[in-house]
Each structure stands twice: as C-alpha cells, then as structure tokens.
Amino acid sequence: MLHFQYFISLFKIYSMDENWETQLQSIWLKLGAISSEAFIQQIKNHVELLTVADSRAIADFERACAFDSTGHEKEAEPLYRSALDKGLTGLRRRRARIQLASTLRNNGKIEESIHILREEKANESDELNDAVDSFLALSLSSAGEHKEALSIALKALSKHLPRYNNSLSRYAENL
C-alpha cells in the first residue's frame, strides 16, 4: 500500500509540473499581444506557484526571460545569473547561458558574452548548437571580429541548406 501511495504522489507532482509548463506556454503565447508590463506580471504570478526549493532557479530564469523578451535586459541579467547560481539544470540551463550571453552583449559586456558562448560551444552539444553559434557570431561581430563571426554563422547555416553544404562549410573554414 505504501508503494501505491508513493506512486500516486509522484503522479500528482508530475501532473502538476506538466500543467504548470502548459500554463507557462499559454502565457508566453501572449507576448506581444498584451502590454509588456502585463506579460511580466503574469510570468511573475505564475512562477510564484512553484513550491519546490529547486524551482527557485526556474522562477528566476522565467522572470529573466520575461524581462529580456520585453526589452529590459538590465533587469534580466541578474536574474539569469541567479538562476544559474541556484543550480538551473537541463535545457533551461543552456538556454540561460545563451540568453545571458546575448543580454551581456546588449548591455555592453561583449567579452564576457564571448567567453560564455565559447564555453557552451566547447562543452555541450544539443539542438541549441546553432543558437550558440548564432549568438557567438553576433558577439564576435560586436567585438569587431567580423571574419570569425561570418565564418561561424556560415558554418552553422551550411548544415541547413538543401545544396552547397560542403562548399559553404569549406568557404567558412577558409575565412
């Protein structure tokens, strides 16, 4: 009987998490359709529903995303850092690092942005690789490293072309 109750409680937690994520996605769909202030407030209210201590990192991350997506990069930066410091994991951790780097570039901290993105490029490999490359290219361009930026961007793009993949990749390498 004890095992059955344990599995029921796990199911409730999983269902709540799944429901919370679905509701979060519904709020994100409102971005641009409601005022920035209303959007940020809805995200803030929604993350307050998180109760597990580990979820504070998720709450900070989602709040950072809301600020960042509405043009408030200065407010987003400390929240991204807090989420990472609190142990954000999984895909959200990688997203936080990419988004923090983008925010840092927008806040004039280009070298730190490049450093973070180079670490991500060296240490991870997943569906966000091209995002890392794209934001690294932007940061390098902002730092005046235009040839390297173009090379990285073209190499990332070459994987998605219907033809000329190898040619474009070789040209990118030669830059």
Query: At residue 146, does pLDDT exceed 90?
Result: yes
Alpha-carbon distance of 152 to 143, in angstroms, equals 14
DSSP type of residue 33: T
Quick count: other Cβ atoms within 10 Å of Cβ 167?
11
> What is the pLDDT at residue 10?
38
Degrees (nearest 5) of the Cα angle 170, 172, 175? 110
Alpha-carbon distance of 54 to 22, in angstroms, equals 19
> What is the pLDDT at residue 1?
46
Q: What are the Cα distances from residue 32, in Å, to 39, 69, 80, 96, 97?
A: 8, 9, 22, 21, 24
pLDDT-derived band at 51, boundaries 50, 70, 90: confident
Query: At residue 24, does pLDDT exceed 60?
Result: yes
User: What residue has token string 């569906």?
Assistant: 127
